[in-house]
Amino acid sequence: MLQLADIQAAAARLRGHIAHTPCEPSRTLSQISGAEVFLKFENLQFTSSFKERGAYNKLSQLSPEERARGVIAMSAGNHAQGVAYHAQRLGMRAVIVMPRFTPGVKIANTRGFGAEVVLHGDTLEAARAHAAELAAAQQLVFVHPYDDAAIMAGQGTAALEMLQQQPGLDMLVVPVGGGGLIAGMALAAKAVKPGVQVLGVQTQRFAAMVNAVTGSAHPQGASTIAEGIAVGAPGAQCLPIIRGHVDELLLVDEGDIEQAIVLLLEIEKTLVEGAGAAALAALLRHPARFAGKKVGMVLSGGNIDPLLLASIIGRGMVRSGRLARIVVSARDVPGSLARITSVVADAGANVDEVHHQRAFTLLAAQNVEIELVLQTRGHEHVAEVIERLRAQAMEVRRVQ
């Protein structure tokens, strides 16, 4: 069983090889949530993820014979980059098996660290099985992303840092996939500060750890924007530690995670991936659980596909009302569009898109539907724009 001494030894081993990331208060998120929020910026590691901690701790302890053989890992991206980067630093061959759904930015970064990338299967489990086959065929050392004591010990160093940086924390909130991060952190945190609470967060689409710990039967989904914690089965070595040291596991949905990504980008000017936003998503989803507490949240990673990020930002703008779609019915005569856009401009909104609909409408033939996508200040501003248009005897409806 993993011990505090193993995590402390890992912390000494990691010194000078990984970033000692900040754990800073967020006044704005604290005001929004009613909790005192502190953010652990693991997205500021060189490979933009906490996974470097476990990867280096594991690789640095391999024997000369094992280093000569090289290593293999399966990963949706962040463990891959951590292993690839530190294998390169230590002069080892690294083969990484990644599911085919892995974001392109993570594949490119992993190859950039000199690893041989193999894309196989649609799940981590399929990638793991193929990695095991390659390990046996090529005599490579298998580096598991979470179900390994050295990996857990390395990840647990994040908790030691957080409680050194912010000793007054009441809670640590940690994203959960296979369980390596929360197992190491929970064991370290409870040993250093027995009264601290440790809460894990999973997405509703991949609730394997929640099912294993609570006996629930949440169905497994096919995909999630938090692909870093999209794990079908918890680690066998992680599970008993989590059962003994984690106080509660919470579930969040995709919308919570999207909202958290946008908030962190806007408020903290920091970029996180879906899994990295899970802790804040839990705060947004379950505010009463955290009210009045000093809450430390792990921003576990920042490797997000740019196209996915663009989509999330756009959806966030719609959710907040800063992008709105309205349909105005008007006479199809010269000057109608000019009148509409003039009213919109006078109300302080900006036209982002315009589409005339003449054929697909139930209006009389001499009428037209004009669909506008507007940039506004929020929902109240949208309502003001609509009222001004209606005051000009125009028929207007908002499209959700």
Q: Which residues are the active-site residues?
A: 51, 300
Measured from the Cβ of residue 248, the count of other Cβ atoms closer than 10 Å reads 17
Which residue intervals of the chain are DSSP H helices? 4-14, 27-33, 51-59, 64-69, 78-89, 104-112, 124-138, 149-165, 180-192, 208-214, 238-245, 254-267, 278-285, 287-290, 306-320, 336-346, 379-391
Collapsing DSSP to helix, strand or coil, 32 comes out as helix
- The sign of the torsion formed by the CA atoms of 241, 9, 75, 63 equals negative
Q: Is 61 exposed, middle or buried (0-12, 13-18, 19+ CB in 10 A)?
A: middle
Checking DSSP bridges between strand 323-331 and strand 367-375, what pairing results, if any? antiparallel
Q: Which residues neighbour 273 within 8 Å (Cβ) at sequence distance 6 or greater?
A: 43, 226, 227, 228, 261, 301, 302, 303, 304
Q: What angle do CA 175, 180, 185 make, to 5 degrees?
A: 70
Sheet of 94-98, strands arranged across: 116-119, 94-98, 71-74, 141-142
Cα–Cα distances (Å) from 284 to 35, 120, 251, 278, 290, in that order, read 11, 35, 11, 10, 10
What is the full DSSP assignment across 172-232?
EEEE-SSSHHHHHHHHHHHHH-TT-EEEEEEETT--HHHHHHH---PPP-S--S-GGG--S
